[in-house]
Amino acid sequence: MKFCRAVFFLLLLVSGVMPAFSGEAVPLAADEAVEKRMLFISEELRCLVCQNENLAASRADLANDLRREIRSLIAAGKTDQEILDFMVARYGDFVRYRPPVKPTTWLLWGGPFLLMAGGLVTLVWLLRRRRHRVAAPELSDDQRVLAASLLDKTD
Amino acid sequence: MKRFALPLIAFAVLVAFLAVGLTLDPRDVPSPLIGKPAPDFTLRQLDDPTKHFASADMKGRVWLLNVWASWCVSCREEHPVLVEFAKTGRVPIIGLDYKDQDADGKAWLTSLGNPYTLVAVDSDGRVGIDFGVYGVPETYVIDKLGIIRMKHTGPVTPDALARKILPLIESLSR
């Protein structure tokens, strides 16, 4: 009887353990906190294959691998900055959607403001020129009378 | 006539910018690894999984690292160029079989010829990431000190080989 009970408990134990073995490898994505941080970081990064898509949204194979890499870097306890540096060291500033401000990116960061300043200057210049051109025309007395009679007619 | 001058100049400038833009290859992203030591790696070899290749073994030699895969269409285009170049025996060409199935990679080399001194297998693409690989094929010129001196993205053409890669190899080998 004792033996039977032992076998029974052994079976119970094995049946409880086995499903854990038979399950597929638990993906790192199961960790919600890691996943959130991974998404936060990968939204800052460009997918090198699609170029106009961020790493979080891209379905390219490389993007998959890089997301996996980010997950394992997070698991290794790296900070966000360290992970960004990891990517920049391999793929260059181009991988970042917000590249650092430095001489090679001055035009990139300042360009829009330069264009806007240029547009404003042109606008002011054109408006000033126009004001000169559309100055109220001088009318002679005859023309004034004619204009008044025309306006009366329309009434 | 004068009132057309400004729009015409603006248009010409725009056309000039667009024309230059058309000649640029958006896929040709400058690699930050140029001038830096090539990432160290040790990987198993394609034809004999018991043997390994370590990048450190190449110290003291100028060599090419060619990243390829059997699933890569443009690799098919560059392959004959590499086979032809390998015949000159100028420098060792190490192949990096990137995210590929061993059987597919072997079949590819059997049917198209093998230009590689040896092929290292990067099945999960981790070494590829260390090298900043984003579009296979890619070719790296690595000097005697293990510094990456050039990266060629896309298929190696006879023109790129003759004008860019060979002169660099010549000057590095001296």
N residues, chain A: 155
Nearest Cβ partner for A91 among B27, B126, B134: B134
Q: Does the beta carbon of B34 lie under 8 angstroms from any beta carbon of chain A?
A: no
A84, A96 contact by CB (below 8 A): yes
Other Cβ atoms closer than 10 A to A53:
14
Q: Note whether A76 and A114 are same-domain residues.
A: no
Share above pLDDT 70 across residues of chain A, in percent, rounded to a whole number: 80
**Count: domains in chain A:** 2
For chain B, the structural domain boundaries read 35-173
One-letter-per-residue 3-state SS of chain A: CHHHHHHHHHHHHHHHHHHHHHCCCCCHHHCHHHHHHHHHHHCCEECCCCCCCECCCCCCHHHHHHHHHHHHHHHCCCCHHHHHHHHHHHHCHHHECCCCCCHHHHHHHHHHHHHHHHHHHHHHHHHHHHHHHCCCCCCCHHHHHHHHHHHHHHC
Identify the CATH number of the domain in which residue A60 sits.
Answer: 1.10.8.640
In chain A, residues with a C-beta closer than 8 Å to the C-beta of B128 are 65
Query: Which of B121, B75, B116 lies closest to B98 in space, CA to CA?
Result: B121
Q: Note whether A78 and A112 are same-domain residues.
A: no
Q: Is residue A147 part of a domain?
A: yes
Q: Is residue A10 part of a domain?
A: no
Q: How far is B84 from chain A (nearest CA, A)?
A: 29
Those residues whose C-beta lies under 8 Å from the C-beta of residue A125, and which sit 6 or more positions away, are none
DSSP type of residue B86? H
Q: Note whether A127 and A79 are same-domain residues.
A: no
Size of interface A-B (CB pairs under 8 A): 41
Q: Note whether A51 and A117 are same-domain residues.
A: no
Q: Does the beta carbon of B31 lie under 8 angstroms from any beta carbon of chain A?
A: yes
CB contact under 8 A, A65 and B134: no
CB contact under 8 A, A94 and B30: yes
Those residues whose C-beta lies under 8 Å from the C-beta of residue B63, and which sit 6 or more positions away, are B91, B92, B93, B94, B142
Q: Is the pLDDT of residue A19 over 60?
A: no
B32, B132 contact by CB (below 8 A): yes
Residue of chain B nearest A89, judged by CA positions: B32
How far apart CA A89 and CA A84 sit, in angstroms, is 9
CB contact under 8 A, B29 and A48: yes
Query: How confident is the model at residue B133, as a pLDDT?
Result: 93
CB contact under 8 A, B32 and A89: yes
CB contact under 8 A, B99 and A66: no
Q: Note whether A95 and A116 are same-domain residues.
A: no
Tokens standing for residue A27: 């993906």
Q: Does the beta carbon of B99 lie under 8 angstroms from any beta carbon of chain A?
A: yes
Q: Note whether A96 and A150 are same-domain residues.
A: no
- Mean residue pLDDT across chain A: 83
Phi, psi of B131 (to 5 degrees): -90, 0
**Strand, coil or helix: B21:** helix
Place of tokens 């993205």: B153
Query: How confident is the model at residue B111, as a pLDDT?
Result: 95
Dihedral of the alpha carbons of B145, B148, B149, B152, in degrees to the nearest 10 = 150
Where in the sequence is the domain holding A119, given as residue range(s)?
107-154
Q: Does the beta carbon of A63 lie under 8 angstroms from any beta carbon of chain B?
A: no
Q: Is residue A19 part of a domain?
A: no
Q: Is residue A45 part of a domain?
A: yes
Q: Note whether A127 and A93 are same-domain residues.
A: no
Q: Does the beta carbon of B126 lie under 8 angstroms from any beta carbon of chain A?
A: yes
Can you identify the CATH homologous superfamily of domain B35-173? Glutaredoxin (3.40.30.10)
Least confident range from A94-108, A129-143, B109-123: namely: A129-143
Q: Does the beta carbon of A28 lie under 8 angstroms from any beta carbon of chain B?
A: no
Q: Note whether A48 and A81 are same-domain residues.
A: yes
ipTM of the complex: 0.82
In chain A, residues with a C-beta closer than 8 Å to the C-beta of B132 are 90-92
Per-residue pLDDT of chain B (174 residues; tens, 9 = 90+): 678 888 899 999 999 999 999 988 877 788 899 999 999 999 999 998 899 999 999 999 999 999 999 999 999 999 999 999 999 999 999 999 999 999 999 999 999 999 999 999 999 999 999 999 998 899 999 999 999 999 999 999 999 999 999 999 999 988
Buried b or exposed e, range B19-46, using 16+ CB within 10 angstroms: eeeeeeeeeebebbbeeeebbebebbbb
Residue A137 or B12, more confident: B12
Nearest Cβ partner for A49 among B33, B132, B134: B134
Question: CA angle B25-A87-A95, nearest 5°?
Answer: 35
